[in-house]
Copies of this chain bind each other. A is one copy, B any other.
């Protein structure tokens, strides 16, 4: 069976998924595309031999579409997801699930009512082989009880449109999810520290870098350096400090060179490069679940909701610099195990 995919939102991420379905993913094909820009719809429909839609709801309910991939802007997510749930169609939704936790909660409630997991959220890092291996190492007990984690999230540069809040909602959001994934527990407190200096590479409206400090239920302390104009590359670090040993991600370079500047290993230039295999893998995972008629798995609406709660606390701390508590409600049975 080939899964017929409808893609909503044809910006950078949407187009990247169009290319992915065309070149990499097997068992699925894009049959329908939709965007608020008519011209873009027409162009993409032509390039990828898909049917053009100018209305998301129409696409979602079309018989041409078995499953929906949502790459629209965050504020549009809720309505589109609820429509898909109503149509009983599985959804792959780019993160964030919604701009705030309240809307995310409505999605949770709707999904729980359907009685089945219908949504996979685009937290692609869970499909990265390095993070998966790190999780195995932690779960195998080699490190003993985890006490601390040190993370860094560095982008070479961000556009002027990147706001201070996006450091939490767009960047830290990845660490928030992956910490929960690695440690199998929730984050209960957040504090954002503003260092005394900022890079001259950043736009005046930003404080860059920022340091965010998380605390989990069991007391693990995590610091996360968010540096989105670091200049030199896209560089992700994650180290878990345990009672008996330490483990973390390597730089993951496949090749080395010795050249006049010294010994060197490549650093990725972008998120797309660093997590290329993870992006492919998350989408293939989604397609496979749909093909097999199984309930969806991997990052869920619940994960999106809880991450949104932590982000909201982070945004509050960004304002006042205080440690903010996160109250995580009870997890519905649908999202357990």
Residues on A lying within 8 angstroms of B by beta carbon are 25-27, 129-130, 133-134, 137, 142-145, 147-148, 150, 193, 195-201, 209, 211, 213, 215-216, 218-221, 223, 225, 227, 230-233, 235, 241, 243-267, 277, 284, 287-288
Task: Give A241 Cβ to nearest chain B Cβ, in Å.
Answer: 7
By a CB distance below 8 angstroms, the chain B residues around A231 are 144, 243-245, 260
A-B contact pairs, 7 of them (CB 8 A): A26-B26, A130-B254, A137-B255, A147-B227, A197-B219, A262-B267, A264-B264
B219 in contact with A145 (CB, 8 Å): no
A33 to B290, CA, bound (A): 27
CB contact between A263 and one of B218, B254, B265 (< 8 Å): that residue = B265
A137 to B258, CA, bound (A): 12
B248 in contact with A256 (CB, 8 Å): yes
A263 in contact with B257 (CB, 8 Å): no
Task: Give A328 Cβ to nearest chain B Cβ, in Å.
Answer: 16
B288 in contact with A26 (CB, 8 Å): yes
Given A200-B145, A209-B241, A220-B197, are A254 and B249 also a contact pair (CB < 8 Å)?
Answer: yes
Given A197-B220, A232-B245, A243-B200, are A148 and B225 also a contact pair (CB < 8 Å)?
Answer: yes
A74 to B80, CA, bound (A): 56
Residue ID in chain B nearest A26 by CB atoms: B26
